Structure formats: C-alpha cells, structure tokens
Structure 1
Amino acid sequence: MKRVVVIAGGEVTQEDLHHIRPDDFLITADAGIEPLLDLGMNPHLAVGDFDTAGEEYLSKLEDLQISYRTLPSEKDVTDTHFALEEAIKLQPNEILLLGALGGARFDHALANLYLLEWLATTTSIPCTLVAGKNQICLLIGPTTICVTKGDTRYISLLPCSSQVVGVTLKGFRYPLNDATLTRGLSLGVSNEITQESGEITIHSGKCFCIQSADF
C-alpha cells in the first residue's frame, strides 16, 4: 500500500484535508471522522471509543457501510495510537497524520508528537504530521535528508533526545557545521532555506524537524 492517512480528533482544516489523495487509505480516530464526512468523504476504517464523536455516529457508519472498530473507554493507548497501529499493519510506504494538534486537549497534542518518536523508533515507515501551515517529522541520526522550500518559510530542529550531535545544514540562511543541539535551548529554531532545497545531516540523536509558515 502506498500511503495511509490517519485523521485524529483534533482540529482539522479544509487545507489539511486537501493533502488527501484519491488512492490513500483513510483511517479515522474517534472525532476525526466528522470533518471527513462533512466533506463527503468516507474513511476505509473508523476506530475509537467514540466518546467525542458520539454513539450516533455508529448508526451513521452502519448506514454508510463504513468498517469500524469500537474501543473501550478504559484502555492503555489513545484512539490515535490505536489507529496508527492499524496503519502499520497495512505496511504502507508512508503515513500522513492529520488532526493531531489543536483542539482543547494539549495533552493529546503532545502525546501525538511523541507518537512520531514511537513510529520512528519501532518501524521504518516515514510519518509526517500536518497541521495547518506546519509539517512535522522526527529525524534519528545518523541520517541525511533533503527538504524543499515549498510554501513553508521556516524550518526548526528541536531535539527530542538530550542532545543532537553532528548537525550540518547546507542551503540555509543560518548554516551549521558539525554542531550540537541541546534539548531546552533554541539554537535550531526559525532557520530558513535560501535555495529551492536544503540538506540536513545529523550524526546521532533524535529531533523534530518542523517546516512552518506564518501567513
């Protein structure tokens, strides 16, 4: 399978949903089904305890002949975590996570960021979290990636481990050469690509790579 899109129960904009391609496999977690149905799109699988979306959605899912898995309200993983586990079973080339930030629950937003780390350390499937003008992925060294400028202006590297060692940035307004980023400090925030693409290399450590725009 080429790509699985998981739509969580946080804030989802029309701009976010425009990232969905016709051949994507769609999995919604709890209230993540609402914006999809509002747009006239049906998920291939809906999961959750549906404490947010409401039990009336179960009848709607049956009427629409949408496959769903109901989960207990008392469980060891969040609905989004469970949806990602279902996505992994499909062995896609890529996972796109929508609706994972925003909304009233900051604890869920932070937990969803940690899920990027869980995915990166337990699978080889790349996952990108998209929320409005922000695209977030997790990098684990040693690695080198090429990032394109696109519609985003800023790129920030925020350590997830205590330190990220051997950071080299090419094609950026503020280049780095074999630098060390320390968690809690802001050295890696608000850099800019000066060309059509830039290169990021890290030797060791884990960090969030956030591409964002403020317009």
Structure 2
Amino acid sequence: MICIFANGLYEGELDFSCCEKIVAVDGGANFLRLRKIIPDFFIGDADSVENETMDWLRKNNVEMKLYPSEKDEIDLELALEFFKDEEKIVFGWQGERLDMILALFYLLKRFKNTVLESENLTVGYVEGRMILRARVGEKWSILPLGGDATGVTLKGFKYTLKDAKMPILKPYGVSNVAISNEVEIEVREGGVIYFRWKKEPS
C-alpha cells in the first residue's frame, strides 16, 4: 500500500501500519519531519515546504521529483499519477481549501484505487461492485459523482436500494446508517462517492 501525505490538516492518531511505501507531497513533508518519519519519495513544487524540511529530505537521501510551481496539475494529482497502478491511501487531504477538496473528489473518479483517510472519515469512489468494512451505527453518505448513477444497490444499510437511480441534482443518499460490519455498494452505470464517518460528525 502506498501512503501519501498531503499538505493538509492532521488531527488525532493515524494508523500507518499498512504503509509499504511513504510518499510526501509538498508540505506533507513538514508533517513527516515533525513526526520523524522519513519518506521514501517526495513529489511537488516545494512551495509549501520549510527550508529545514528540504534540508532534512536531502540529508536522508529521499528520492525527489520536483516540478515548477506553474503547472496544470495540483501536487497531489502528480503523486496519484506517478503511482497510478498501485493501491493508495491519502492522509492530510482536508483543509480550508474547499476547491482543492472538490478537485480531489473528482480525481477519485480517475484514480479509483485511492481512498482518502483521516481520524474521523474515509472517502472513496465506487464503480461496479464493492464490499466495504463498516461498524454498526456508523453514519455513511453515498452520492453520485460526475453525473447520475443508475443501477445503484445498497446492502447492509438502514436505508437500502435495489437497482435505483441516484440523480446528481437530488442527493438523497446523505446520512445513511450501517447496520452490519460489511456494506455493499453496487453501481451499474456512473459512479458514487462514499463518506464513512468513523466518528460521529458534529
């Protein structure tokens, strides 16, 4: 599993046990330095990286792929593309830039083997059929992404669906509840984004 550390907010404890390779994306390297976690790889334009962090990366011989600040891609997109064929978890993806978060949600549609992870929330994208871990009582939201989703089936939830249509202009999939330790999401056409609240949101 590729664990990608972005330049966003980090709160609480994160589980790094699944990380086979650690990738710092731009200012995410600052977080890793403070935690004394040496990444295997650095990707970005370094505009959010402290000088002390850049020195630390070089001192530890971290492989770097540097880009110009003026480009058509966000730094995180470059990292997702570089590891496009591998399973990925992104930490530190939340922050004040709602535009960046929306862009990242769209990127999930392109990089389907990616999930966004924080202490409270897991976000992922489903086309086809997927069985996911859950805990009874957790709040989930399932919403179409990029267009209408059809042939949607939801199992293991309080509010189930069978071969239903989820119009993008009527987001009725907000605030479902898991009633099983496994849930199933299936989409025949289009795709949905899911939000798994591991802790009850305020």
Q: Same fold (TM over 0.5)?
A: yes
Root mean square deviation, CA, Å: 1.9
- Using the alignment, how far apart are the partners of 1:158 and 1:40 within structure 2? 38
- Using the alignment, how far apart are the partners of 2:74 and 2:136 within structure 1? 32
TM-score (norm 2): 0.90
Q: Which runs of 5+ in 1 are unaligned?
A: 121-125
Number of aligned residue pairs: 200
- Using the alignment, how far apart are the partners of 1:193 and 1:22 within structure 2? 24
Using the TM superposition, give the Cα deviation of residue 151 of structure 1 relative to its aligned residue in structure 2, in angstroms.
8.0
- The match for 2:117 among 126, 130, 135 is 130
Q: Which shifted more, 40-49 or 190-199?
A: 190-199
| Cα 1:55/1:184, change in 2 over 3 Å | farther
* Partner deviation per Cα, 1:159-194 (whole Å, 9 max, x = no partner): 113211111222211111221111132311111111
Contact 2:150 2:164 in 1 (8 A): yes
Using the TM superposition, give the Cα deviation of residue 14 of structure 1 relative to its aligned residue in structure 2, in angstroms.
4.0
- Using the alignment, how far apart are the partners of 1:167 and 1:58 within structure 2? 47
| Cα 1:135/1:165, change in 2 over 3 Å | same
Q: Does 1:214 find its partner at 2:196?
A: no
Q: Does 1:113 find its partner at 2:138?
A: no
1:123 alignment counterpart: none
What is the percent sequence identity of the aligned residues? Answer: 26
Contact 1:133 1:152 in 2 (8 A): no
Q: Which runs of 5+ in 2 are unaligned?
A: none
Contact 1:27 1:87 in 2 (8 A): no
- Using the alignment, how far apart are the partners of 1:163 and 1:70 within structure 2? 38
* Partner deviation per Cα, 1:4-45 (whole Å, 9 max, x = no partner): 111111112342xx3222652111111011111111111001
Contact 2:108 2:114 in 1 (8 A): yes
| Local SS of the residue matching 1:205 | strand
Q: Which runs of 4+ in 1 moved over 4 A?
A: none
* Aligned residue type for 2:90: L
2:163 alignment counterpart: 178
Contact 1:6 1:87 in 2 (8 A): no
| Cα 1:185/1:14, change in 2 over 3 Å | same
